[in-house]
Structure 1
């Protein structure tokens, strides 16, 4: 990468910096475009409200190839917390901080024009960072989607007072659904984006608990239990599917925490028991559709598949763990290995897996 940056510097010295768009090649398909000080100052004024942050993050997810975006939002003592989870292309580990720098983008030749203007200049995340209390990538990876968390002090950056009223949707003169009536709050922002990207990108909006329930229920429908058999943890799964790896409330709480969602043990049990219903997408709710295209795909039923779940009590699992540990000791003595801790027993829908963490004798 240093060779390419040397070439950039040479071209700039020979032809003048004004003729060169790229300042630095960051690798992994990312570049840093040249930016003037005036553009840096203007960036702070590009975000005028919390709702502006929401639309920029939605556009960012869409441009990363996401067809599902989940927004978990909460507010406490004047501080708004926004979580954005998507199934887009993801962010490489080395870029998780740099993508918030000015003019850093992976869209050198693919800037997009939509109803909100030009997107892909590499300034949206920079502008958000400038105006928010904090903005960060919590977890991501190439091909795994991303989780962004943005925290905003609403005394510094305004938001609409009414954050509960939903807009109405009506067809305009061209026969296209648009939002009418209602405050321009976070809900309406999400709805306007969803209608603009109808059948291209579904948006789910709710509290952290509602989003957790939605992610879990969708993941359980989509994931094949056999694909989880040889996984040690959930990190290899797309971020929006990771809660489907949870075998119990303890797992659920731990995985949710890595996604920026903090829930109680009681809430985790309620989600696992199906007591908290998953959300419908904002477009489905707005248009009063029973399901969206992505939801219909997930709900296609294989009539030959047995979907009865396996349930085993904690006492029986503990007894089984002790029994297999005893049998394992016979094997360990012959191959000079030690068992590190108790065997881990996972009960899935149609199988039981036992994991032995090993240590070799010196």
Structure 2
């Protein structure tokens, strides 16, 4: 698999591959895809457009967000950089909006997406509808889009070609199976205290409005919301919280040869079946959250599961309508479809 790193200099794409000594792609907690790298005896600049190709197929394109140039002692000059996909452009738009009751989540995303030219929104799903009018004042468009995605538990991704994806965030059908036959090493960690497989919502007057569990249901979390009275809304929130909480604290890191990774045909956000009994995982569905490239040794290091860095913002009391979601809208299921 041939990797090519290129930056735009105003008139054309310049190849930086030969000067690149490390690369890592990952999904950040805000849904933005990040590319980190280091160059030797070469530089990039903040604001430059950058892209990464695998076998001439673009897998990442975005904007250089941060640069760290270093020269220590007899070491060669080094330039570390951090780039985000084009979704980061919405961080520079401050918006005022009023969305009426019944407005679908996808409609809000499409409206805000129109702030940037050339964005393809054909992969934006409708999602749920607003429970009540939502007035937005002096907020960054990206923050609003993130709030909407949290409220309905959707992925918000900008893929190469400025194709915006707004899809249900759930473990989908597996794209591949990973066994010990193709890995070089594996490291799995799990914080059982953080994991939750049961969510109980207690509303006004101490009434239990929802009790949702998965599996044994032996790791509960109890949410007390004295302002909540609607059982349907409580169940919706409980299901979203359960979907997020059950993965929190799990992290699997594996290393494999470049050829084996290519044969799997997977990318960030894809679901894989993990069958590694040596670390206690048998036929577990996990999501690929990070890819680290080693351009010199032709090895890939992958990160799966509920990495805290990815989910911590979603779990920081940020699900629609709770006292924990003071900035985000409450949504209801769309019964029109």
Give the TM-score taking structure 1 as reference length: 0.22
Higher helix share: 1
Give the TM-score taking structure 2 as reference length: 0.23
Answer 1 or 2: higher relative contact order, Cα 8 Å, separation at least 6: 2
